[in-house]
Amino acid sequence: MDLDVLPPAEFGFPGPLRDLLVAAILDGSKTSTTGLVSAYACEGEPLPRVGDRCAVVDSAGRRVAGIEVTEVRVVPLGEVDLAHAVDEGEGYTSVADWRAGHEEFWHGPELRAALGDPAFTVNDTTPVVLERFRLITPGAVPPG
């Protein structure tokens, strides 16, 4: 598979968090991710669809693996379940811990700047995109 022809999939912002997430995808422990519906709208991007294929991009901008979307659900933030939280591969053992970690990211200066809203916040009714995916091919260049 030629990763250069696939649209990019960027997890978090470049840096330690992205490196952690990409490593979890490559080792198979990360098989789900969560996005904000408002972020897709702000970027003018369509929501993911089952069957979409993307190239996972590391912090250096390299395409390191291909993934395929296997499930997409849009739910209020308050309805995220434990299975989804665990499958994000970040070591969460409760939905409360998962949510605290995600709120820290969503309320951080990088995301607020990307959304153009310095006071952006989420609550139980905020629509989120729950995406499941499978690793279809690792790239030729390992992360790091």
pLDDT in tens, 49-101: 999 999 999 999 999 999 999 999 999 999 999 999 999 999 999 999 999 99
For tokens 């693996």, what's the residue?
65
Assign 72 to helix, strand or coil.
strand
Residues of the chain above pLDDT 70, percent: 96
pTM: 0.89
**Chain centroid, CA 122 distance in Å:** 17
Q: Find out whether 31 and 112 touch, Cβ atoms under 8 Å.
A: no
Q: How far apart are CA 23 and CA 1, in angstroms?
A: 20
> 87: which 2 tokens?
């499958």
Instruction: Enumerate the H helices of the chain as residue ranges.
Output: 16-26, 37-43, 82-87, 95-106, 109-115
- pLDDT exceeds 70 at position 126: yes
Average pLDDT, the chain: 93
Q: How far apart are CA 34 and CA 26, in angstroms?
A: 18
What's the pLDDT score for residue 114? 92
What's the pLDDT score for residue 18? 95
